[in-house]
Structure 1
Amino acid sequence: MVLGDRRPGDAVLPAELSADLREWGAVAARVGADAIPEQQDIVSRRGRQLAGRLSDVLGRPVEYRDPLTGGVDLVHGRTTEPIPLLQAPEPIPWGTGLTVSAFFAVVAAIGDVTLSRAFGEAFGMLWIPANVLVVGGLSPSLWLIRRLPFWRWIGYGVAAGLAAAWVILLLTAFL
């Protein structure tokens, strides 16, 4: 965030406005150009509102340079445009999502049980650390996809399948 040139006669910025400008600058830097369009729009609108407040304090138009798009606007006073809230999320497709999760849970459980039993027949109890490595290797990927609209269902299914496989393997190994 750059305030630009100070002119003789410019008023001292109120502490509240300075704090708001710093906070907005930090948020704009964190959001960046790779954010979803709704977030970019909110950051840009908030920047224009702050530029309007700055224009009112200084008593002259100010140049607003959008950090996300690079666009430049000349702002004359405070804008009354409201900041929109993020749109409501789309409805969750529970039927389809649970079906996809169930399918991947079955596939993951069968695959894990089959591989672990084959490994156990060849190497004995070494199937346990091998299975820990499999689950540990998949965990970061499952954690990363938990918020992606379609992929979360696959992640939930694989996680449930691996948990079910562990239960099955431990029951058959120790009973």
Structure 2
Amino acid sequence: MFGFGSASSESDGAFDGIDEFVPEHIPEPGPSLEGHDVLRGEEHVAFHRTTEDVFEERGVYDVTFGYNLARLNLDHRHPDSGYRYAVDEDDPSVLRAEFTPTAPFCPQSRTLTVASFRAWNGLAKRHDYELVRVSVHPMHHRSDAIDDELDRLASEFRESGELPDPSDDGAPFPTDGGAVGGESDAPF
């Protein structure tokens, strides 16, 4: 119902096609990608196609928009939001993925980035990287706490070769219930 499906290969007016690289419709690479080899053109498109498939299989959906999170990169309404990717300069087996949410208080940023991390690394045979390291652009008001959790997940995955138990994903990042933009602690 909400899937990307076959329509994703063609532009429908409000969205770019999955095979298009339109720099003015995706976020600029942020600080966590500085000094690394940012994917552009066909390299970006190829990894983003994989992202669409992996997110579809693992159910990484933006509940606000009701679509596969990969589609955010193609949505003309949010040209400064979505994922950008870069190959780590020091370790080419690592891809860095930086998520820029639609607003500094996006309540789904933690959930979406943890789910993205788990999807990319849980289905690592679908891409050419041993690790996809995920971060949130610092424009998000809780980026430091979210990035700390994502760094912990990446370290545990790198050390063990297995995804950490989903019940542990929220441990170092308690929800504060009443805060504006409080994050869900639902495991993925």
Structure with greater strand percent: 2
Q: Is TM > 0.5 for Structure 1 vs Structure 2?
A: no
Specify the structure having the higher radius of gyration (Cα). 1
If the length of structure 1 is used for normalisation, what is the TM-score? 0.28
Q: So what's the TM-score if we normalise by structure 2?
A: 0.27
- Determine which structure has the larger helix proportion and give its number: 1
